[in-house]
Amino acid sequence: MSAGPVIPDFGDPSACVASDATFCADWFTDHWWNLFWPALLQHLELTLIAVVLGFVLAVAAAVLCHFKGWLAAPVSAVTSFLYTVPPLALFQLLVPVTGFSVLTVEIALVLYSIYLLFTTFLTGLREVPGDAVRAARGMGLTRRQILFKVELRLAVPSLIAGLRVATVMTIGIVAIAAYVVDKGLGSLILKALQSPFNTQFIGAGALAVVLALAADGALVLAGRLLTPWARTRRA
């Protein structure tokens, strides 16, 4: 083994890289625009698509089950079964059908997150104070108006809570999706696994953590803005 740099073709190695240090900040910043930033954007994109799709499907399923109570048990059974399949196995199952594609990744991500979203949303809808709904009915709001003006509005804290867990979880699973598509921070990590040079691996991993924290923070903030009534409890 030579003592020289292991990462090939990135120009003259700096002192840090040459000494094979654990983390080289200069190498990280040098490769921000051509390596980390694009991967971060891909990671975010894969996550967003999955979470938005999962959100829409889960809200639709929860509303349907809220209206037709008998649907809740079967929907819950199916989604919880999907949740028990390990994500990696789910990818494996889908590849023969949809290939090594973004589609495969998104299907798996959505199927995996939907159980969590669905159960929190349904609970949120069911926990809307019965008094408010009875008052709304008694005032002559239609079923639709009650759903949109009362129930979904009061379920916002649950929607946000579900989204927070699902988003953080999805950001983690997208990293594994690198086995299927060469995208996201996961692919940087996967490639770096074979090399003793750790900066790429550590940098990508840290970015995934930062992304998860930032997404979580953004959702908390959105929740605050959407629920002004919850901030004004009497002292």
Partner 1 sequence: MSTEKTPASAQDIVFDHVVKTYPNAASPAVDDLSLTVSAGEICVLLGPSGSGKTTALMMVNRLAEITGGDIRIGGRSITDHDPIELRRSIGYVIQQTGLFPHLTIADNIATVPKVLGWDKRRVKDRVAELLDLVGLPVAEFGRRYPSQLSGGQRQRVGIARALAADPPVMLMDEPFGALDPITRERVQDEFLALHERIRKTVIFVSHDIDEAVKMGDRIAIFREGGKLAQYDTPRTLLKEPADEFVARFVGADRGLKRLTLTRLAELDLTPATSGDAALPAIGADASLRAALSLMVAEGTDAVRVMESGDGGGGGEVGAGGEGGEGPGGAKALGTASLDAVRKAGAA
Per-residue x/- track, 71-110, partner 1 (CB under 8 A): ----------------------------------------
Structure-token pair, residue 228: 């002004």
Cα–Cα distance, 123 to 76 (Å, whole number): 12
In the list 74, 86, 99, 129, the residue contacting partner 1 (rule: CB under 8 A) is 129
Which residue lies nearer to partner 1 by CB, 11 or 138?
138
What separation in angstroms does the CA of 83 have from each of 62, 90, 164, 189? 16, 10, 17, 25
Among the candidate windows 20-28, 111-119, 133-141, 203-211, which touches partner 1 by CB under 8 A? 133-141
Structure-token pair, residue 213: 């924290």
CB of 215 to partner 1, least distance (A): 25
Which residue lies nearer to partner 1 by CB, 126 or 153?
153
Is 222 a binding residue for partner 1 by CB under 8 A? The answer is: no
In the list 1, 139, 193, 225, the residue contacting partner 1 (rule: CB under 8 A) is 139
CB of 16 to partner 1, least distance (A): 54
CB of 66 to partner 1, least distance (A): 18
In the list 116, 154, 204, 215, the residue contacting partner 1 (rule: CB under 8 A) is 154
What separation in angstroms does the CA of 52 have from each of 29, 41, 113? 31, 16, 11
Torsion sign across C-alpha atoms 160, 166, 168, 171: negative
In the list 13, 38, 76, 137, the residue contacting partner 1 (rule: CB under 8 A) is 137
Which conformational region is residue 91 in: left (phi greater than 0), alpha (psi within -120 to 50 degrees), or beta? alpha
Is 160 a binding residue for partner 1 by CB under 8 A? The answer is: no
Q: What is the C-alpha radius of gyration for the chain, rounded to an integer number of angstroms?
A: 22
Contact 54, 114 (CB under 8 A): yes
Is 144 a binding residue for partner 1 by CB under 8 A? The answer is: no
Structure-token pair, residue 16: 């840090």
Q: DSSP H helical segments within 68-195, as ranges? A: 72-84, 87-98, 102-126, 130-138, 143-145, 152-154, 156-176, 184-193
Quickly tell me which residue has 């299907």 as its tokens.
107
Which residue lies nearer to partner 1 by CB, 68 or 134?
134
- Size of interface with partner 1, in residues (CB under 8 A): 24
Which residue lies nearer to partner 1 by CB, 134 or 224?
134
Q: What is the DSSP letter of 31?
A: T
CB of 35 to partner 1, least distance (A): 45
Q: Which residues bind partner 1 (CB under 8 A)?
A: 129, 131-132, 134-142, 145, 149-150, 153-154, 156, 227-229, 232-234
